[in-house]
Amino acid sequence: MIVKNLQRNSATPKFITIFAKIFKIELTMTFKQMFTSSVGKKLVMAFTGIFLVLFLVVHAGLNACIWAMDGGVMFNKAGHFMGSFVVPRVLEIGLFLGIFLHIIQGYMLTLENRSKRSVGYAVSYKDGSKWYSRSMAILGTILLMFFIIHWKHFWIPSRITGVEEIDLGNGFVVHNLYAVMQDTFQSLWVVIFYVISCISLAYHLAHGFQSAFKTIGVHNKRYHVLISSIGYGFAIIIPLVFALMPISFYLHWVN
């Protein structure tokens, strides 16, 4: 457990200190060390990873509104709520920061680990680790490409370049993001790329979910089976939900 034997330091970020009190973890880490030391990088990866897991739950729930079979009314209302109120917009900024921190620290840890080895990962698999736990950098790179394309398809039009609006009745006008999804997912290569990205997300979560909790110290015989079960279940269900969305539009399973 990486942070089990650390002692508290006054320079430790407040949210880390609060979390440490909940799980009775003692910390001794300055703000600078959170981003430069090996332990700090792993902690940043863990906390940002958990934050992104929570985001995936919300995002999957919002996108699942496409299956309401109401012509996109519920989905457009949900998208309008997320884009027009202060709290979701503030959380959106935190989300972007979390994604970039997670990616940057992931690459830094990968380079750091490889620099300590005279030969790359291909030399030996005697530790019994799964292939996807050794390929997090590759899976993360695929997901980075996905984020860029996904932002181009949806976030940039809805926030910057503009989206066609639709009147849902009584003068309630919103962005027609449902129509954007319909248009985007009529292209086969886009659907295939999204599905491949969801598969990468599944493997990334299969390792990352458990690894995050192990890093912050929530990992012992009492919690191991529970966390492992939740982690694998999450790694299957959430990516499956996301993958079914482009497939549903392409095959016209939704109206």
Average pLDDT, the chain: 79
Q: Render pLDDT for 13-24 as a digit per residue (tens, 0 to 9).
A: 555 555 555 444
CATH of the domain at 156: 1.20.1300.10
Q: For residue 16, is it within any domain?
A: no
Measured in degrees and rounded to the nearest 5, phi and psi for residue 167 equal: -95, 120
What is the pTM for the complete model shown?
0.76
Q: For residue 183, is it within any domain?
A: yes
Rounded distance, CA 251 to CA 127, Å?
A: 43
pLDDT the model gives residue 139 = 86
- DSSP SS3 for 174: strand
pLDDT the model gives residue 32 = 55
Q: Any alpha helices (H) in 72-135, and if so which ranges?
A: 73-84, 86-115
* Residue with the larger pLDDT of the pair 188 and 122: 188
What domain range is 224 assigned to? 37-110+131-250
Let me know: does 109 contact 42? Beta carbons within 8 Å.
yes
* Residue with the larger pLDDT of the pair 132 and 30: 132
Q: For residue 22, is it within any domain?
A: no
* Residue with the larger pLDDT of the pair 184 and 216: 184
Q: How many domains does the chain have?
A: 1
- Sign for the CA dihedral angle at 174, 156, 253, 68 comes to negative
Helix (H) or strand (E) holding 11: none
Q: Which tokens sit at 98?
A: 């979390």
Rounded distance, CA 78 to CA 87, Å?
A: 14
Q: For residue 91, is pLDDT > 80?
A: no
Q: What is the mean pLDDT of residues 93-99?
A: 80
pLDDT band at 123 (very low <50, low <70, confident <90, very high): very low
* Residue with the larger pLDDT of the pair 28 and 180: 180
Q: For residue 4, is it within any domain?
A: no
Q: For residue 25, is it within any domain?
A: no
- Residue 27, C-beta contacts closer than 8 angstroms, at least 6 positions apart: 3, 6, 7, 8, 9, 12, 16, 17, 20
Q: Render pLDDT for 56-72 as a digit per residue (tens, 0 to 9).
A: 999 999 999 999 999 99
Q: For residue 104, is it within any domain?
A: yes
Let me know: does 145 contact 151? Beta carbons within 8 Å.
no
Q: For residue 159, is pLDDT > 50?
A: yes
Q: Which tokens sit at 137?
A: 């950098």
